[in-house]
């Protein structure tokens, strides 16, 4: 390296850390360690999610408040740190966080980036020059903390708060939209399908009720994930022992943040577990992945049920949102459902990354925290947007093709299942085979063969009756 390379220029200042001197852009609030990270990790355009930066600001602000209350930080520095940290929380300093996601596995670069930005802004607020460290990034902003407990804590806060404020409301909106359709379609009987083959009748409302319940259970899974995220590492410092940290620090900081976010956070029961592993993040990602699997099933069912309009199943009509083909005039595709399936595929892939990250835990530290954070939070944000869009632009506008539902039921060979408890399985199977070979319906062949009196036949072959429990007991298909 040229010995003049780190000399100050008109647009740079020189800062020093334990490794020596380095030029930093003169207008930057970040400092020398952030500048080193920018040089060391020119990997991707991916940056730490805004929700994590917000959480970092919240931690530093609450830490200053608590450290002052414990007699560890003077009033002047405390107020300056709190104001600077508030600007971080509010997003006013987002441009000052340029460090790549693919950085040190503990997230130390992001922690020091935060410390430096708050340090320099706080220093400026009390009349000092950027880089002069009147408010020190380590001694003041990072007091009682380590990257190894701050970063996992920030990720837990970001994930739980984003789930609470974004994902859960979106899933609730979707669940309500599906429930409304379940009620609207309850009187419409249609053919059921297993193995993609005709099965006994169901009501369209029952199908949609099943979808609504899937999302309801997904909501419960996300809420359980929030409970897992509620234990945080803050207070363990470097390896979980709590070295250089006041024993009341974590408890008091998390009380402030719990109040600010409306989510419950508490100091980990065991700091060695909280810092040497991130099973809670893996669990949370698994819950989010399960929601994606549910949405994938629902979106694909909606695509199939609306296929056609004349040569597919065509049991429901999907809202027309845009032309579907550049070559086939008049074609309209299920594009909203398709976008949902792509989101689900991305979320399922993200979960693999989080899972692999969870395995990267050696002794007292897990070393894939930034990429775990990025993937989990991207999954939460994508599912939020997809669920909202699915509810508003697809589910809300679905209508039923009642005539199509009726005609397909009558054509189905599975209607013979209702006769099996009365005439026996083998006789019912022969009836279905005869109907298939003749091209007639089960009802027509049963009447021709006089297998039962017409009144009894009409009773057993009533599609509505088949959608409810009760009636003759016997083999019900498989």
Sequence-separated contacts (24+) of 293-297 with Cβ below 8 Å: 293/344, 293/348, 294/214, 294/215, 294/217, 294/218, 295/215, 295/340, 295/343, 295/344, 295/383, 295/386, 295/387, 295/390, 296/340, 296/341, 296/344, 296/345, 296/348, 297/214
Helix axes 108-125, 50-69, angle to 10 degrees: 60
Instruction: Report the C-alpha gap between 349 and 202 in whole angstroms.
Output: 34
Identify whether the C-beta of residue 101 lies closer than 8 Å to the C-beta of residue 371.
yes
195 is catalytic: yes
Question: Strand, coil or helix: what is 316?
Answer: strand
Q: Residue 114 has which token pair?
A: 């935060």
Q: How many other CB atoms are found less than 10 A from the CB of residue 409?
A: 22
Residue keyed to tokens 């969870």:
358
Catalytic residue, candidates 44, 325, 407, 438: 325
Question: Strand, coil or helix: what is 199?
Answer: strand
Identify whether the C-beta of residue 443 lies closer than 8 Å to the C-beta of residue 406.
no
285 is catalytic: no
Listing DSSP states for 142-173 in one string gives TTT--HHHHHHHHHHHHHHHHIIIIIHHHHHH
Instruction: Report the C-alpha gap between 151 and 233 in whole angstroms.
Output: 9
Residue numbers annotated as active site: 195, 325
């Amino acid at each position: 390296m040229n010995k003049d390379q780190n000399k100050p220029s008109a647009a740079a200042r020189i800062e020093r850390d334990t490794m020596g001197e380095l030029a930093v852009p003169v207008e930057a609030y970040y400092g020398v360690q952030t500048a080193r990270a920018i040089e060391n990790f020119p990997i991707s355009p991916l940056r730490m999610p805004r929700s994590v930066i917000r959480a970092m600001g919240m931690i530093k602000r609450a830490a200053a408040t608590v450290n002052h209350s414990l007699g560890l930080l003077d009033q002047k520095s405390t107020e300056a740190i709190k104001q600077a940290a508030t600007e971080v929380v509010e997003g006013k300093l987002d441009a000052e966080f340029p460090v790549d996601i693919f950085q040190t596995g503990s997230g130390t670069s992001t922690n020091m980036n935060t410390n430096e930005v708050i340090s320099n802004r706080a220093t400026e607020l009390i009349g000092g020059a950027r880089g002069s460290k009147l408010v020190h990034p380590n001694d003041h902003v990072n007091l009682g903390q380590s990257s190894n407990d701050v970063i996992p804590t920030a990720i837990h806060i970001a994930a739980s708060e984003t789930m609470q404020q974004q994902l859960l409301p979106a899933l609730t909106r979707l669940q309500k939209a599906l429930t409304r359709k379940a009620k609207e379609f309850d009187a419409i009987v249609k053919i059921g399908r297993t193995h993609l083959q005709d099965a006994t009748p169901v009501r369209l409302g029952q199908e949609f009720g099943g979808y609504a319940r899937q999302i309801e259970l997904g909501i419960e899974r996300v809420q359980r994930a929030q409970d897992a995220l509620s234990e945080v590492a803050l207070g363990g410092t470097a390896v979980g022992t709590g070295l250089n940290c006041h024993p009341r620090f974590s408890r008091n900081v998390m009380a402030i943040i719990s109040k600010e976010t409306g989510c419950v956070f508490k100091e980990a029961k065991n700091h060695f577990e909280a810092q040497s592993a991130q099973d809670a993040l893996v669990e949370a990602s698994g819950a989010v992945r399960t929601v994606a699997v549910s949405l994938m099933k629902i979106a694909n069912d909606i695509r199939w049920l609306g296929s056609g309009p004349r040569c597919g199943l065509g049991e429901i009509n999907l809202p027309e949102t845009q032309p579907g083909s550049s070559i086939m005039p008049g074609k309209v595709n299920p594009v909203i459902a398709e976008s949902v399936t792509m989101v689900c595929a991305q979320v399922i892939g993200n979960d693999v990354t989080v899972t692999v990250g969870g395995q990267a835990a050696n002794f007292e530290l897990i070393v894939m925290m930034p990429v775990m954070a990025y993937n989990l939070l991207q999954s939460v944000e994508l599912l939020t947007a997809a669920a909202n869009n699915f509810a508003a632009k697809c589910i809300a506008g679905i209508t039923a093709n009642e005539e199509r539902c009726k005609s397909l039921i009558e054509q189905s060979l599975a209607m013979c299942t209702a006769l099996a408890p009365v005439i026996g399985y083998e006789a019912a199977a022969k009836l279905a085979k005869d109907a298939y070979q003749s091209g007639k319906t089960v009802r027509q062949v049963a009447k021709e063969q006089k297998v039962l009196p017409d009144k009894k036949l009409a009773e057993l072959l009533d599609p509505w009756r088949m959608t409810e429990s009760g009636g003759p007991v016997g083999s019900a298909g498989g």
